[in-house]
Amino acid sequence: MADGTDPVLATLRFAAFAAATILGPGIVLQRLIRVRWDPALVVPLGLAFCAGGYWLGLVSGTPWLLPLLALLLDVQLLRPGLRGRPAEGPSIRGALPPALLLLLLLALARYPVNRVGPSGEFLLDMGEHRDTAVHVGLVWELEAGYPPQVPGFSGVELHYHVGIHLVRAAAARWAGIHPYDSFTRFDTTLWGLALILALRGAAHALGLGRRATGLVGYLPLACDLSFVPGLLLGASYWAFKLGDNFTEAIFYANSMTPAMAMVLAAVTALARAERGEGRAWLVLGGILGASAAFFKVFAGALFLLALGTAWLLGRRRRELTFVAAPVGLALLLLVAGAAAPTGVEGVRASFVPLAPVNPARLAFGLGEAHGLAFLASGLVWVVLSLGLRVLGVPGAFHQARGPRASGAVLGSFALWGWPIATFVSITADPAYDESFYFLQASGLVLWLFATPVLAGSTRRSLTLAAAALLVSVAATGEYLYRARQQDPEVVPAAAVRAMAALREASRPGDVLLMQVRVPHVPLPIVLAGRRVAYVDYIGYWRQFVTPETREARREQVRSFFQARDAETARAVARELGARYVYLSGRRPRPVEKAGVLEALFREGNERVYRIRQRPGEQ
């Protein structure tokens, strides 16, 4: 595991944590409002409860609030008849085959990395390692307190949709689960199961039929036609090139996965209310929709747009308003809380026709196109990115214009992603357009509408069935092959022991100084869970601070390491609130000879120091 603990014991701890704070509450909350519990809602609702309970404990200064609330709900399961039978719908048993397949693929591609190796070294996965490091640091921040600070830039508050990070922080605090283990092993497994159940619930809500409902559990593994240019151009990691596949979200534990499970569960609840099973389902739909926004703002925004579209088309407006109101409120709170400070660029949204085209060309090793070549590339991009999902477009249009609100919402949700991503560019890091999240969300739902067509055609021809299977999983298969071939980056055992010493000597919230540039990820943030004054390893600093502030902080840190006398070093450390220092590499820094550092750990090229204070200083 990521902290070197026994994997069996860690798995048992997480299982107990999930059962107590997610699964149990996910069932009880449905029963307490007098509806029969739906398996598709259990994990999404439980995640919302866990995040909310942990957040209340943080802001109120009562961290034991979550386990207390969970206990109060879990004991309700002991009441005779409270659990009852699940609501009518797809069976849990039918979700087992796709769940077992996903478990096997995760075991092959994800479980072996981001862990301590047999000789004490850390086996760092190089896929999305920088982005993962930010999120691991955010989890440690939420274990330390609230509000969180920007990992790698201490003292600056981080405004972000932290829903799932609250769950991970709760697992770290109450079950001793390292955030890397959550990302790489436990989250991927639990969320995959939740998404499979939610897809089956949505298929039942749409009335797709038994055969199609049996297939939808495999949809998170289905991909576009990126294998065509991938083969022709000799590219690798095809599934990630066009940004529209859910493979990346599944295997790299992106919060889009639980957010989409919440959206699908909310639509399932809306469908049950439509069928006359009780208006209480609308309450659950509103809670789940709002929670989706806090877990992934892109999913929440697209869900609100789909609800609004269905409302404009005149589909049961009262029920839609009941669900949409909390979603809209959640988005307003997120937007207000994430407003960039004066002078900070923040997140930018701009109108860019055919925005994904040139990034896609660059991803496949082609140059940027202009003029007619650009327009032709746009057409090719649409064909490749939609892939077999194009078969679902007529069905999505039919449902969007149909009489049922739940169908209209899902149909609209499936259709909006491509128009938005085609003409809107959303950036925090100028190098990345995050509009692809709309493609991932819409693409997953569009597969729902394509599944009945594929199921019908494949029933008539085994050749068509084999071809459809090959086309839809080619990119996923290539990812699995690459993931198995890629060796992890080996972080030396001495560095791992240095982080253990730092964690032992310091407390959550303590600030540390380290070299500005790191080869891969800042170890004090991800392995020790401590704040760092400044480290340059992510590209979207402009979302939080001005370039001038960033440069000033960089120079402060450099001046500390260049200090040749104790007073100068202490003055800089005092300004930054730093108490510890971590250095790696053979080259000593001038400050190490200034008499201001007390060695806590030395082994090879790894050094951890405490900054000596003046007598009487704290």
pTM of the predicted protein model: 0.96
* pLDDT greater at residue 522 or residue 545: 522
352-375: pLDDT as tens digits: 999 999 999 999 999 999 999 999
481-530: pLDDT as tens digits: 999 999 999 999 999 999 999 999 999 999 999 999 888 899 999 999 99
As a whole number, mean pLDDT of residues 309-319 equals 91
- d(CA 305, CA 300) in angstroms, rounded, equals 9
72: pLDDT confidence band, cut at 50, 70 and 90? very high
- d(CA 37, CA 31) in angstroms, rounded, equals 6
78: pLDDT confidence band, cut at 50, 70 and 90? confident
139: pLDDT confidence band, cut at 50, 70 and 90? very high
Distances (CA, A) of 237 to 204, 226, 232, 434: 33, 9, 13, 18
402-424: pLDDT as tens digits: 999 999 999 999 999 999 999 99
As a whole number, mean pLDDT of residues 283-295 equals 97
Q: Which range (11-15, 99-103, 233-237, 541-545) has the least confidence?
A: 541-545
Residue 335 confidence (pLDDT): 87
Average model confidence (pLDDT) across the chain: 93
- d(CA 436, CA 447) in angstroms, rounded, equals 16
Domain residue extents for the chain: 7-484, 492-611
Q: Residue-wise over 558-576: b if at least 16 C-beta within 10 A, else e?
A: eebbebeebebbbebbeeb
- d(CA 98, CA 101) in angstroms, rounded, equals 5
Using the predicted structure, report yes or no on whether residue 230 has a pLDDT greater than 70: yes
83: pLDDT confidence band, cut at 50, 70 and 90? low
Rg of the chain, C-alpha, whole Å: 25
Residue 219 confidence (pLDDT): 96
Q: Residue-wise over 417-451: b if at least 16 C-beta within 10 A, else e?
A: bbebbbebbbbbeeeebbbbbbbbbbbbbbbbbbb
Query: Under 8 Å CB-to-CB from 231, ≥6 apart: which residues?
Result: none
Using the predicted structure, report yes or no on whether residue 618 has a pLDDT greater than 60: no
617: pLDDT confidence band, cut at 50, 70 and 90? low
